[in-house]
Amino acid sequence: MSNWSEADVEANGIRVHYHRAGTAGKPALLLLHGITDSGKVWARVAGELGDDYDIIMTDARGHGQSDNLATGFSIDLLADDAAGVISGLGLDKPYVWGHSMGAVTASTLAATYPNLVRATVLEDPPLRAEDADSASASRERDAATRRPAFPDFRALSAEERVATAATMNPSWHADELPPWAESKAQFDPAIAQHFGSFQGYPWREILARIECPTLLVTGDPALGAIVTPEVAQAAVALLKRGQIAHMAGSGHNIHRERYEQTMQAVKEFLRAH
């Protein structure tokens, strides 16, 4: 990709690695990945949006080439890290698009640092119903979305990693596979202790504090998406300036599984705000 660079920035007391692409002087767009991924997994998205945005793709702590989890791990820390990146790079109220872990990072960032964020896109964040009536459905959904046991990507060659990624994700575009496979050989193994970190995320309180425009992108729970229609409606009712874009036929990896539809919805949202 042209205009692609990478560097480190000190943020919240740690070293955060990032890739930057797109067009200098355009509005900034901060892309936050999901757990066990890295900033490079956004390469396809960055390639499409690069003419209109200055795109920053960070590696979260314990992921990619950023510092490991020695100083801790929590959603609040991830949001503080993102705020540190925005300040450290001098970004002027960027748009923030997060997937999964990155989505709850984005929502916490927007709620905690309202002056730093222009608008947010939340792609299938782990928002779960807490009421007793939904307990059975929640258990079924958790079983459907339980993270599979990855093979040891560190022991594989680059070619073997991509081949394994293709087998695990047969519907994905070929461009998605190499960065995803590489990320699985990079993340801090200690992150495995935190796969359940988002179960108790207080999303109702967090979303009610967000002032900026917010797009909630949802998929189909039957295919592995986390946000149910009921939770989506509850979430958008709490958001002061919220809307929903539902991508039928997608699971948890919405922009990978319904790329064109997702990109159209996100582009329209970003242009409007």
Give residue for tokens 């205009």: 3
Q: What are the tokens at 168?
A: 């695990």
Residue 93's Cβ-count burial label (10 Å; 0-12, 13-18, 19+) is middle
Q: Which domain holds residue 101?
A: 5-272
Please enumerate in sequence order all residues whose Cβ is within 8 A of that of 228, keeping only pairs 6 or more positions apart, or say none. Answer: 129, 134, 137, 141, 221
**pLDDT tens across 114-123, in order?**
999 999 999 9
Q: Which two tokens stand for residue 254?
A: 């919405």
Residue 152 CB neighbours (<10 A): 8
Structure tokens at 208: 């009610």
CA dihedral sign of residues 145, 151, 152, 153? negative
Token output for 85:
């990146």
Name the phi and psi angles at 8, rounded to 5.
Answer: -115, 155
pLDDT of residue 151: 87
Tokens representing residue 238 in the block? 């709490």
Q: What is the pLDDT of residue 265?
A: 98
- Which residues of the chain carry a pLDDT beneath 50? 1, 131-146
Longest dimension (CA), the chain: 51
pLDDT at 136: 43
- What pLDDT does residue 198 have? 87
Q: Is 177 helix (H, G, I), strand (E, B) or coil?
A: helix
Q: What was the pLDDT predicted at 133?
A: 41
| pTM reported for the whole predicted model | 0.94
Q: Annotate 6-75 with three-state secondary structure.
A: EEEEEECCEEEEEEEEECCCCCEEEEECCCCCCHHHHHHHHHHHCCCCEEEEECCCCCCCCCCHHHCCCH
* Total tally of structural domains belonging to the chain: 1
CATH code, domain carrying 261: 3.40.50.1820
Output the pLDDT for position 195: 86
Please state, in angstroms and rounded to a whole number, the distance separating the CA atoms of residues 168 and 237.
Answer: 36
- Please tell me the distance from the alpha carbon of residue 141 to that of residue 119, in angstroms, as a whole number: 29
Q: Are 213 and 241 in contact (CB under 8 A)?
A: yes
